[in-house]
Structure 1
Amino acid sequence: MRTGIVILPEHRWWFAEPKWKAAEEYGFHHAWTYDHLGWRTLVDGPWFGAVPTLTAAAMVTERIRLGTYVASPNFRHPVPFARELLALDDVSDGRFTLGVGAGGAGYDVEVMGAAPRTPGERTARFGEFVDLLDELLRKDRTTWHGEHYTAVDARSAPGGVQRPRMPFLVAANGPKAMRVAARQGQGWVTTGPDTDDLDAWWRGVADLAGRFTAIQHGTGRRVDRYLDLDSAPVYSLTSVETFRDAVGRAEELGFTDVIAHWPRHDGVYAGSEGVLEAIAADVLPALS
């Protein structure tokens, strides 16, 4: 079981830098930051861009994998985004994973003045977004005329450090997005169902894992399975035992990776850094 931690891009770098260094020192396998223009209850607070944040994190770490959690088509076009991703892959010396999802409604859409899209429209655009990124990151030149995106002789030299391209972690709860994950992802991540009942959440996670198994059947591809522990009704870093129990249940369901969030002082993901330190000392060393 591999473990990851999300560090929200809400702090000036002098305050954020020690967290990224600590994530590596604690023994987490991967560290992530949100790729939004603003996020939910934190939209009026401090917020920084994901790509510069991850670039800075790459410069102060050596081993831990880094990634977006998750990029979406809401405010990105694959052609310029591919250039940023190639730079991240280079600066991190091949430690970057592209986390990508369909995106939802909310500030990222509203601030751009875009018209609301139905879930089906978002998923269709998402599939094309991922497929075009795959082409851009694999090939030296790409021309594409799709329903949602166009690229005309787009260059991608010098290519990525990771070949044939960096791994994609595809966020998906519905069947259409799961098919994108099964086709293009090296990893699939789920947030589970939307419920306030912890046991119901775990039953929903088990159901989603089974659905992904059925969709993946016959593809001949290995896709790692990630679970966002903090989409559950109970914050995973509430206590050492809460985290240990969540990791054990995820492993029983066949997940290869779990992701938690760095504790904040208040509001969403409120918790104690002391609990995080205890987990690093008592739980992470026992996980392979």
Structure 2
Amino acid sequence: MRFGITILPEYRWSEAEPKWRRAEELGFDHAWTYDHLTWHGLQDSPWYGTTQTLTAAALVTSTVKLGTFVTSPNFRHPLTLTREVLALDDISQGRFLCGIGSGGGIDQTILGGDELTARQKVDRLEEFVGLLDTLLTTDGVDHLGEYFETRNARTLPGCVQQPRVPFIMAANGPRSLRLATRYGAGWVTTGLKSADFETWFSSVRDLSHRLDDVLEEGRPFDRYLALDSARYSLSSVDAFEDVVGRAADLGFTDVITHWPRAEGVYAGSEDTLEQIATEVIPRLRG
């Protein structure tokens, strides 16, 4: 089992930098930040750019992998995203993970336009991730699709990680799960929304079984579970051990929690984080 932590892009860098450094010092395998223009429940909170945050994090760390949680076509174009991915992969010396999903939340309409149907969102995701894959591996790309266009898109010099950076694909439905297995090095899920922990974890179990149904038997494929959708996993040592144990039983290779916030969503204690990172995670790894 590998362990990750998400640090929301809501802090001035003078406050955020020690958190990213500490995440590496505590031995987390990967650290993430949200790739949204804003996020429900925190519209009145400060919010900073994803690429800039991860660039700064790459410069103050050396071993922890860094990722987007998750990038979507809501406000990204594959070509402009390609430039950012190339830069992040280079600056981090091959530590970048590109989390990708179909897009939801306020980002769907904040730039104008109507919200897409579920089918349209998956159509757009398929075009988005397919074009991004091509752009990161091919120089000089012409593409004219329903949602995106490129004309002789030059994408030199290519990724540090070959043949390209890993895609960690968020998916729930049958089509998006098939896309995840086609393009992804791994799958990430938050489960289905529920305030009840047992109901939420039941959805995680069902989604994991759905992935089994579409994944080629025996293929290595990482599975990431975001732990905090129904209950904050760092609320106590027992809560963390319980949900990680359940995830391990389902075959998840990676779990992701959130850095404790002072109040509101993911409110918790940094002392609990320190205890779990220094005492519990090493034991669970063992």
Same fold (TM over 0.5): yes
Cross-structure match for 1:121: 120
1:109 shift after superposition: 2.6
- What's the counterpart of residue 72 of structure 1? 72
- Distance, in Å, in 2 between the alignment partners of 1:16 and 1:261 is 13
The corresponding residue for 1:197 is 196
Is 1:133 matched up with 2:136? Answer: no
Moved over 6 A (4+): none
Q: How many residues align?
A: 285
Counterpart in 2 of 1:226? 224
| Of 274, 279, 282, the match for 1:277 | 274
Per the TM alignment, residue 105 of structure 1 is displaced from its structure 2 partner at its CA by 4.0
Q: Is the 8 A contact 1:98 1:169 kept in 2?
A: yes
Distance in 2 (CA, whole Å) between partners of 1:173 and 1:236 is: 22
- For the pair 1:245 / 2:261, whether they are aligned, the reply is no
Instruction: Return the TM-score normalized by structure 1.
Output: 0.96
| Alpha-carbon contact 2:68-2:99 (below 8 Å) kept | yes
SS of the aligned residue for 2:255 comes to: strand
Structure 2 unaligned residues grouped into runs of 5+: none
Match of 1:51 in 2: 51
Alpha-carbon distance, 1:217 to partner: 3.0
* Partner residue in 2 for 1:156: 155
Shift of 1:141: 1.9
CA distance in 2, matches of 1:223, 1:141: 30
Offset of residue 67 of structure 1: 0.4
- Matching residue of 2:255: 258
2:238 aligned partner, one-letter code: E
Give, in whole Å, the separation in 2 of the partners of 1:210 and 1:109. 29
Match of 1:235 in 2: 232
Aligned with 2:5: secondary structure? strand
Q: Partners of 1:187 and 1:141 in 2: how far apart?
A: 27
What SS does the corresponding residue of 2:20 show, helix, strand or coil? helix
What's the secondary structure of 1:180's corresponding residue?
Answer: helix
Asked if 2 retains the 8 angstrom alpha-carbon contact of 1:28 and 1:284, the reply is no
Which residue type is aligned with residue 235 of structure 2?
A: T
Give the partner amino acid of 2:259.
Answer: W
- 1:169-220 Cα offsets, whole Å, 9 max, x none, are 00011111111101000010111122222122222111110000101136x7
CA distance in 2, matches of 1:17, 1:285: 24
Q: Which residue of 2 aligns with 1:144?
A: 143
Amino acid aligned to 2:268 = G
Given that 1:105 and 1:116 are in contact with CA atoms closer than 8 Å, whether structure 2 keeps it comes out as no
Q: 1:114, CA displacement in angstroms?
A: 2.0
Please tell me whether the aligned partners of residues 9 and 49 of structure 1 are also in contact (alpha carbons under 8 angstroms): yes
**Corresponding residue SS for 1:4:** strand
Amino acid at match of 1:186: A
CA distance in 1, matches of 2:247, 2:254: 8
